[in-house]
Amino acid sequence: MRKAPHELREIAGWMAATDIGFLELRMPDAIVRLGRRGDEVVTLDDGQRDDDAPVTPRPAATNPPPLDTVTSASVGVFLHAHPCAPAPFARAGVHVRAGQTLGLLRIGVLLLPVAASRAGTVAALRVEDGATVGYGAALVDLHSL
């Protein structure tokens, strides 16, 4: 169920009329991410879904790289996956890129992405799925690349 270009332009127009800085639409065959660059609303990536891509864990090192902890930007409920999708955004041992979504923070009906601060390997998800978290709570540990 792909979105037609005119539908994406309409969604981008709605987004431009608000103060929303990031919007992610997940469909069975694609993910569309829209964001702001100045006053423009742009597509942030190619939108190809890569949930089923094979994952190669990083080989164990004698001196593990330093940990970078991703923290909660607000009070809310931390979700490992989108409520409509069974696959979690990240698992321990998976390589992630800077800005990649690691989970969601649910505040009421609003779902905010929790993104990787830098490229690395997920060391651990520190909070259970559906747990209530406070501002600054440690959510995900990353080994920097």
pLDDT in tens, 38-97: 777 777 764 444 444 443 444 555 565 678 899 999 999 999 999 998 899 999 999 999
Write the CB contacts of 52 (distance below 8 Å, at least 6 apart in sequence). none
Lowest mean pLDDT among 49-58, 103-112, 136-145: 49-58
β-bridge mates for residue 132, sequence order: 77
State the pLDDT at residue 140: 94
- Is 113 in a helix, a strand, or coil? strand
Rounded to 10 degrees, what is the CA torsion of 25, 86, 104, 36?
-20
CB atoms within 10 A of CB 70: 23
**Residue pair 85/101 in contact by the 8 Å Cβ criterion:** no
Number of H helices, E strands in the chain: 1, 11
Q: What is the pTM of this model?
A: 0.55
Distance, in Å, from the CA atom of 99 to the CA atom of 118, rounded to the nearest integer, reads: 7
**Residue pair 91/38 in contact by the 8 Å Cβ criterion:** no
